[in-house]
A and B are shown apart, each in its own frame.
Chain A
Amino acid sequence: MIGCFGRRYDMLDNIHFVLLVSRQGKVRLTKWYSPYAQKERSKVIRELSGVILNRGPKLCNFVEWRGYKVVYKRYASLYFCMCIDQEDNELEVLEIIHHYVEILDRYFGSVCELDLIFNFHKAYYILDELLIAGELQESSKKTVARIISAQDQLVEVAKEEASSISNIIAQATK
């Protein structure tokens, strides 16, 4: 069965998954580095948002959950959560979260929840540049920003080409 909670399978990844949940319990982003089946994903989200959203503001940012640890931090109305193993460094993960938020902030220009709602995929791409296989791969904010904008450009150029009317017509009459 895919996505069993067995540890061995999950061991390779430093971060097992990333969740962004709003204060109202709405999911804003999910990224799974360890295999979880779709059903389990929903269950995990439900379970965790229940635990995390109910925690008071002055409590520590770690939650023990099913033998793992979930590190979370609230920024404005959004909770950023990452799931790690027991022996991983919680403070490091907090820094990764902060790092991600700073990059988002830089990219969107003082990011807010709406930015992430409407640019859901951008938030994804940025996360992909930050983490690979659940490991931090890029700690320089500048580099991430540069890479993302380069890719954006690539898409823009292609889009302009593709969406020009002449192109569409050419395609249709092909």
Chain B
Amino acid sequence: MSSSSTSIMDNLFQRSLEDLIKGFRLQLLGESNFISRALEEIRREIKVTDLSTKSTALHKLSYLAALHGVDMSWAAFHAVEVVSSPRFQHKRIGYEAITQSFHEQTSVLLLITNQVRKDLNSANEYEVSLALECLSRIGTHDLARDLTPEVFTLLGSSKAFVKKKAIGVVLRVFEKYPDAVKVCFKRLVENLESSDPQILSAVVGVFCELATRDPGSCLPLAPELYKVLVDSRNNWVLIKVLKIFAKLASVEPRLGKKVAEPICEHMRRTVAKSLVFECVRTVVSSLSDHEAAVKLAVAKIREFLVEDDPNLKYLGLNALSIVAPKHLWAVLENKEAVVKALSDEDPNVKLEALHLLMSMVNEDNVSEISRILMNYALKSDPFFCNEIIFSVLSACSRNAYEIIVDFDWYVSLLGEMARIPHCQRGEEIEHQLIDIGMRVRDARPQLVRVSWALLIDPALLGNLFLHPILSAAAWISGEYVEFCKNPYETVEVLLQPRTGLLPPSIRAVYIHSAFKVLIFCLRSYFSAEESTLSFSAQEFSSASSSMNAFTYESILNLVNVIELGLVPLSGTHDVEVQERTKNVLGFIGMIKQDLAEKLNLQDSETEVFRVTAFMEDVFSEELGPVSATAQDKVCVPGGLELKENLGDLEEICGEFLKPVDSVSYTDKISFSVSKLRIRDQQEASSSSSPPHEASSLLAEHRKRHGMYYLPSQKDDPDSNGTPNDYPLANELANEISPDPFNPKKKPNQSKQRPVVVKLEEGDESRNPPQAKSNIETVNDDESLSRAIQSALLVKNKGKEKDKSETNPNSGQQEKEESSRIEDHQNSEKKKKKKKKKNGERSSKHKSRGRNEVASASEQVIIPDYLL
């Protein structure tokens, strides 16, 4: 009695959902407090046996879960209880809670199968609808399998309300339980001929999704769908059918020819923008070979672009970018609108316009477009500004600077980018500056000029994002110092006190570059002296005109400036800076005495002369670009275990790897720096004996972890005779093939494109090949597609008794089939063929199975897959 009395009290005084919502708006407790109170109440109420109290509690819980993110998984069992109520309003609450909170792992899911079945069989169509709704959301493999018969029955329901929902559910059932296709497919297909637009819409929706997953499996339905495409005037339906044909045409190009005309017809006829847009998208994405259709579509795009509606503008640009790769003219025609969109308020529109502009860049207009974009970058917000810079950088560097003819211009552009206030693409600019230096010999003078301008700009030093650019500029000034107008000033700039703002790794580059300049100056000075003495032709006399300017005083001055600048740095904490500094100071120490003592330095026996000559040799070797595939060319030596688990590697190498992380180099720089360092070592080893300690450690390590070492005789880097064709980076640079001059070049071009060093094949960006076909990508859905294919077989067999052969996998059997079809054709009606005379290849392969349908739908040519 006591329990029932609380039940009465609960029922009478229970807060309804409405009370809860009202309370929520009036509460003063704070949201989370109120929610936890309400939850407490719900937890109590939901345990009551009375279903209406329970369902109200559940209803409130669903509300809190939907709008306030409250967890309701704990109430799963209660939801099952509520669903079993005979009353509609309880059921509705229960099903809603289930669809909202159940997922595949919900354990009580098993308990609802029977209830759902019962409701699917209910005489009350609204209860059926609830159960279908639920199945469409939470259907699992088991549920789908157990309820397939009910769904099948409902597919044939006389009530459109139920039928269309059953069709909506079928998709979920198919996905979870592909065998259901065998049962339901025929009924589903029959509905394609339904006169009820709702039913048609639902069933087309199903095929749309199926076609998205595997276009091939829906191909046989093309005639029915074609009929819908031609006859239907319902835009919802048409949009879906268009989507299906977009998919089908991508696997069966002949279909495109057939559907292009009706699609154009819709485009001309309709006023609904959504339908026009779908037509446009279908044409540009799947029918891009059909000239007339594309023309019409582009005309529609243009209409979109000039509209004030930002949606249409965005979609127009979107469609243009789809069409751009194949029909660039479409973009060029609308260039004005695209450029205008760059200053649109909407960031989406701006981005889309930017992508489009970049897609039409070629060698003739690159400077114009870049100019426009740089202007926009200057006045844009930081995000868009960097998008612009990035787009320009990547478009121009594509395929080893394919579209760049005038490198002087491009290098200046890179310099300009560094000065755009929001620029954050320092690393990419750094990379390109160095890359151009290595690849394009003719661009080096300009590079040095631009670098100089960057180095002397005091504003850049303070900008963190631009440091990489400065690093590149410093490296270039050192590496290509022979093009430098005034090496003395370069050294001053490289060692200016404000370089203290730079991170140590970049500072080290600065110092090393100053070192290179010094060596160059000394060398120039000596060779000038020499040539004045011996009057022999020197290779250096052609290299630079400025070298004649060196006098004994200027050299002395230069050495002093460097020494002055570096001495304070010899005590820095950063090892890299310190080491570089010490190197230079050590060198200066070696030469200083000689310099001071002897006015006449031409004597080749002096220390300073020898050291300088030696360092000159060290720096003289040119750095070349490294092929992206260089590593691939290295054969894997026999006995190298690559597959073995290297999990313990970290433990072994941990101590060695750690310090590496702390020195952060950008790739390029570290590449060249480390290379130089090797030379330094070689130099060092020529004078002193190799450090024994290190080699003994190495030997020990080798002993301990021998398995990670290559066989020792091949391992020796000095043995040139090794059979491995292991190309060194610079060897690769030797087998470069100069970029052939572009034959398309305009005769009026004032400048010839300089030679760009390109390494054979490997240099192109190594994009992995695009996934080729949809068929490959939908492997996961194979079971479903196979089910559909076999279902179609069954269906067609039904239509035609004489067929005994089967066609399980369309792709591979195509050939075989077409031959079969040809045989068959002889005995089949030939009048068909006469009807279409415009030489379609496919007319030969007219499939007999489709004849009746095909003629009904104005002779659709249907692929050989059809039986």
Contact = CB atoms under 8 A, between A and B. Distances in A.
B173 to A, nearest CB: 10
Nearest to B93: A121
Given A38-B65, A58-B310, A172 B4 contact: yes
Contacts of A48: none
A133 B180 CA distance: 18
Given A89-B274, A118-B18, A12 B172 contact: yes
B164 interface: yes
Interface stretch (B36-44, B205-213, B642-650): B205-213
B484 interface: no
Interface string B1-38: 00011011001100001100110010000000000000
A11 B780 CA distance: 12
B87 A89 contact: no
A133 B172 contact: yes
Contacts of A143: 198
A168 interface: yes
B105 A2 contact: yes
Interface residues of B, number: 73
A30 B205 contact: no
A171 B50 contact: yes
A137 interface: yes
Contact of B168 (A95, A125, A135): A135
Contacts of B198: 137-140, 143
Contacts of B315: 90-91
Interface in A39-77: 41-42, 45, 56, 58-64
Nearest to A33: B137
Contact of A158 (B12, B50, B88, B105): B88
Nearest to A34: B137
Interface in A107-128: 117-118, 120-121, 124-125, 128
Interface string B713-734: 0000000000000000000000
Contacts, number: 166
B858 interface: no
Given A33-B137, A133-B171, A150-B126, A28 B18 contact: no
A128 to B, nearest CB: 6
A169 B12 CA distance: 11
A117 B68 CA distance: 13
Nearest to A56: B345
Contact of B87 (A11, A91, A118, A162): A162
Most A CB within 10 A of own CB, among B7, B17, B105, B274:
B274
Contact of B71 (A38, A90, A94, A151): A38
A136 B348 contact: no
B845 interface: no
Contacts of B100: 32
Given A121-B63, A151-B88, A90 B52 contact: no
Contacts of B161: 147
A41 B780 CA distance: 27
B8 A168 contact: yes
Contacts of A25: none
Interface string A25-37: 0011111110101
Interface residues of A, number: 64
Contacts of A147: 126, 161
Contact of B311 (A61, A64, A120, A171): A61
B104 A41 contact: no
Interface in A143-159: 143, 147, 150-151, 154-155, 158-159
A63 B556 CA distance: 65
B165 to A, nearest CB: 6
A62 B314 contact: yes
A173 interface: yes
Contact of B236 (A2, A136, A155, A171): A136
A132 B136 contact: yes
B236 A139 contact: yes
Contacts of A38: 65, 69, 71, 73
B165 A158 contact: no
A8 B780 contact: yes
B165 A137 contact: yes
A34 to B, nearest CB: 10
Given A60-B346, A136-B236, A172-B7, A35 B103 contact: yes
B59 interface: yes
Contacts of B771: none
A138 B103 CA distance: 26
B209 A12 contact: yes
Interface in A1-27: 2-3, 8, 11-12, 14, 27
Interface of A: 2-3, 8, 11-12, 14, 27-33, 35, 37-38, 41-42, 45, 56, 58-64, 87, 89-92, 94-95, 117-118, 120-121, 124-125, 128, 132-133, 135-140, 143, 147, 150-151, 154-155, 158-159, 162, 168-169, 171-174
7 contacts: A14-B209, A37-B103, A59-B310, A59-B349, A117-B21, A158-B88, A168-B11
Given A87-B243, A132-B165, A133-B137, 16 more contacts: A31-B66, A59-B348, A60-B314, A62-B311, A62-B314, A90-B311, A90-B315, A92-B274, A92-B278, A120-B63, A120-B67, A133-B168, A135-B209, A137-B164, A168-B8, A168-B11
3 nearest A-B residue pairs (beta carbon):
A91-B274, A132-B168, A60-B310
